[in-house]
Amino acid sequence: MVALLVVVVPVLWALQRAAPAGEALVNQGGLGPLGDLLATVAHPALGGDFLKVVLRATGITIAYAVLGAAGALIVGGVGGLVLSDAVWGPAPGAAVRAVRLVLRGLLVAVRSVHELIWALLLLSVLGLDPLVAVLAIALPFGAQTAQVFGETLDGVPPGPMRALRSAGVRGLPAVAYGLIPGAGPLLISYSFYRLECSIRSTVLLGIVGVGGLGQELVVSLSARLWGEVWTLVGAVVLLSAVVDLWSSRLRSDLALVSCSDWSGGTQAGTAVRAPGGSRWARWSARAVLPATVLAWFASGVSVSGLFTPRTHLLTTRLLGDLWPPKLPRGGWSALLGAVADTLAMAVLAMVVAVGITLLVGPWASRSRAHGNRGVLPAALWWFARAVLLVLRSIPPTIWAVVALLALFPGVLPGALALGLYTGGILGRLVAEAWESVDVQPRDALRRSGIAGGLSSLVATVPPSSHQLVTYTLYRFEICVRDTAVVGVVGAAGLGRLFQENLAAFRFPVITTLLAASLAISVAVEVFGRRVRRALRG
């Protein structure tokens, strides 16, 4: 009963905030363009000149994603070594403890700011430079990678490293030869998982004009060139599918770790290296350096822009303008209202995402014990997987722009956009987790004469429910942070306030909004971790 109230009360509150009495929600004027968009789904633009534009934008997207992921791995590698308890031993010195404490706090602050917000801040210093996209991905992803790398190193058996240290080997060589080889498969597989995430984020960053498929999508949507929109959507989905398949194959080759393992925080020390079949992984690892060099030259990225007098001047001016913090127009009422809208959006988005997961997820889960179950189940599996892929491949900003054609700005279009995007991710996570559910109880029930549907329901729903709750809590934490994305394009919440004040150069207000965003992210993360820990018992 208490658990039911914990779910129902926030949902009712969020619904009341999303649809206040007496206010119109549907924008009748936008239904026409939305109908035109849907009517052209079978007529994508396939002209030669436009396909060249799509091809060039795809190349830019891949290049930025590769460089952003590479930057994140550099930050994460150094940060992971500093944060790891195994590297420093049980009793590090006071100076080391102080440095690690400061770094841990800094990384939490960096990863609490969404990559889109990083891009907007970097634009005010660097302008429309390719380095904006790379840094906007590398900074928050690097902070997150550092945490995962540190936990992964701590999960490796410390015996080899201790033996080397006992033999007089210095600290860094002992880590290199005694600790990192044991964590190698997990570190590499997570690195490619980060690349998969970087592709999605690079498309999302197109909203601020950094180039790539995301920017072309926004341009075509603004000009209402619906045929071009569908072509670009197809390119985004195809690119996501290729990277998704590559990343999944690599993870299964290197270690028995799935996206759901990473997301659930159970990756450290739990993976088992798959026997054989690692040729794909070896070739992928060998391609990393050439691909990074190629992406560097193809993108035209240069770090020289970081060290120009103009950059120094603009950075100094920006830091000066950000202080002291100031409340937005409307004072505390406006700030707290935006915070409430942010939380309401996240709650309703998770309702939509869970609904999609329950509706599509079971069909997207292929139990390893089933094998070949016939044409119809296989077709349903492919269809469900395709639906989830499309939902998570299209950035929430694009979903929000489409939703804002039919709905007035507010909590509802933002929640709908985030819910569709999150539903694609949550559905995949839960489907992967459901594939690992033990089917022996179900088979035993069937052998005892219980009907197939009822036996599956009784044997798999309890463990499935636990995984659904765990991943829903995890995605809720991410969803709160992602509300900034849909707010920037005009939905509601702190993101909308952020965009309005940044456009008006009210930088002291930006500081307040960043602090509020950090406070919410930390509070929700702490809450979610405690609940997940309690569920694990």
Evaluate if residue 372 carries a pLDDT over 60. no
324-371 confidence digits (pLDDT tens): 899 998 899 999 999 999 999 999 999 999 999 989 988 887 664 455
Q: Hey, which of 164-173, 283-292, 319-328 has the most confident mean pLDDT?
A: 319-328
What confidence score (pLDDT) does residue 275 get? Answer: 47
Phi, psi (deg, nearest 5) at residue 26: -90, 130
Contacts of residue 514, defined as CB under 8 A and 6 or more positions apart, other chains included, come to 113, 117
Evaluate if residue 253 carries a pLDDT over 50. yes
What integer is the mean pLDDT of 60-64?
94
Evaluate if residue 273 carries a pLDDT over 70. no
Phi, psi (deg, nearest 5) at residue 407: -125, 150
Percent of all residues in the chain with a pLDDT value above 90, rounded to a whole number: 26
Percent of all residues in the chain with a pLDDT value above 70, rounded to a whole number: 89
- What sign does the dihedral 443-448-449-453 (CA atoms) show? negative
Phi-psi region of 77 (alpha: psi -120 to 50; beta: other; left: phi over 0): alpha
What confidence score (pLDDT) does residue 84 get? Answer: 87
27-58 confidence digits (pLDDT tens): 888 888 888 888 888 899 999 899 999 999 99
Evaluate if residue 379 carries a pLDDT over 70. yes
Q: How confident is the model at residue 263 (pLDDT cuts 50, 70, 90)?
A: low
344-354 confidence digits (pLDDT tens): 999 999 999 99
Range of lowest pLDDT (135-139, 211-215, 272-276, 473-477): 272-276
Question: Got the DSSP string for 374-394?
Answer: -HHHHHHHHHHHHHHHHHHHS
Q: Are 315 and 125 in contact (CB under 8 A)?
A: yes
Range of lowest pLDDT (260-264, 411-415, 467-471, 522-526): 260-264
What confidence score (pLDDT) does residue 353 get? Answer: 94
Question: How much is the mean pLDDT over the chain?
Answer: 83
Query: Residue 322: how many CA atoms within 13 Å on its side-chain side?
Result: 15
Q: Which residue has the tokens 């969020």?
A: 14
What confidence score (pLDDT) does residue 430 get? Answer: 82
Evaluate if residue 398 carries a pLDDT over 90. no
